[in-house]
Amino acid sequence: MADSKKIKKIAVLTSGGDAPGMNAAIRAVVRKAIVDGISVTGIQKGYQGLLSEEFVEMGPRSVSDSVQKGGTILRTARSEEFKTDEGKKKAAGICRKNKFDAVVVIGGDGSYRGAQALSVEGIPVMCLPGTIDLDIACTDYTIGFDTAVNTALQAIDKVRDTSSSHERCSIIEVMGRNAGYIALWCGVASGAEDILIPENYNFDEQEIINHIIESRKSGKTHHLIINAEGIGHSTSMARRIEAATGMETRATILGYMQRGGSPTCKDRYYASMMGAMAADLLAKGTVNRVISYKNGEFVDFDIDEALAMKKEISTYQYEIAKALSK
């Protein structure tokens, strides 16, 4: 929806799970908006901080020394109160009282739904995809994914070395409660023998056991399984596999280390472009859009259309992963 109203003041928040590169996005929003004559308020701790009015005035210097840092300088939170009807109305009232002409939301799918709810309450919004999970339908890229997969991959390579030396089976659990992108990418890139993703829920443990036995026969000295958080149960799976195959089996759960750390060049660059684009659109009076990267270009979609889109992990790519593990 294009809105002709001149935007003079915006607010920016990060919400939901943090992702490396969120700071580069905040910095770009702030600096580009200020260049365009728009003032910026930072909302701390996502929608929760909006409801409790935890605001900080942002200037070019308040985002200094942040582009290389992981996490989010505005901090993030999850808010149950915001999800209620009263919460949404209260949040919209606070935006009006503070004369926020638009709110920039950097977060995942849940945060987008929160932004959509604010737009329904008459508060213009602009969304940026900030999630390590890559699970936002309208975009091929999300801020933080590249750093997260590279962080996970470094750890996986290390476990693979020791697993190979000891002729072990290793199950490494990576993040992704509902989405298997981190597991698929890390599995292919680390040369894993099996990749378990939530989208392919009905996996057969006996198939993995048979695969381990066959691989041993074909001369493989280790067996690496990348398991997504959404499947989980890595430790008990390790016990069952060891009992069934006789191969020493260990589980490693990578956990929160995948969220942290300095963002990669790609995450910093894309977050910077997307943040600046958000500010540019707002300066033109365009609101209720989500910034995306699609087919090699930075583009924007209407928020309602974006949230109606569906994304499925590529079965073809999953099959390739299997073929390469032989």
Q: Which of 15, 190, 227, 288 forms a contact with ligand ADP (CB under 6 A)?
A: 15
* Residue 21 within binding range of ligand ADP, rule CB under 6 A: no
* Residue 83 binding ligand ADP, by CB under 6 A: yes
229 binds ligand ADP (CB under 6 A): no
Q: Which of 12, 70, 109, 245 binds ligand ADP (CB under 6 A)?
A: 109
Tell me how far, at minimum, the Cβ of 136 lies from ligand ADP, in Å: 9
Q: Which is nearer to ligand ADP, 113 or 322 (by Cβ)?
A: 113
Which residue numbers are catalytic? 133
Binding of residue 113 to ligand ADP (CB under 6 A):
yes
Closest contact distance (angstroms) between CB of 146 and ligand ADP is 17
Q: Does 78 bind ligand ADP (CB under 6 A)?
A: yes
Task: Provide, rounded to whole angstroms, the least separation between the CB of residue 84 and ligand ADP.
Answer: 9
For position 177 contacting ligand ADP by CB under 6 A, the verdict is no
With CB under 6 A, what is the number of residues at the site for ligand ADP? 17
Planar angle of CA 22, 28, 30, nearest 5 degrees: 105
14 contributes a contact to ligand ADP by CB under 6 A: no
Is residue 198 a contact residue for ligand ADP (CB under 6 A)? no
Q: Is 114 in the site for ligand ADP (CB under 6 A)?
A: yes
Q: What character string, x for contact with ligand ADP (CB under 6 A) and - otherwise, covers 283-302?
A: --------------------
- Position 180 contacts ligand ADP (CB under 6 A): no
Q: Which stretches of the chain bind ligand ADP, using CB under 6 A?
A: 15-17, 47, 78-79, 82-83, 107-111, 113-114, 117, 131
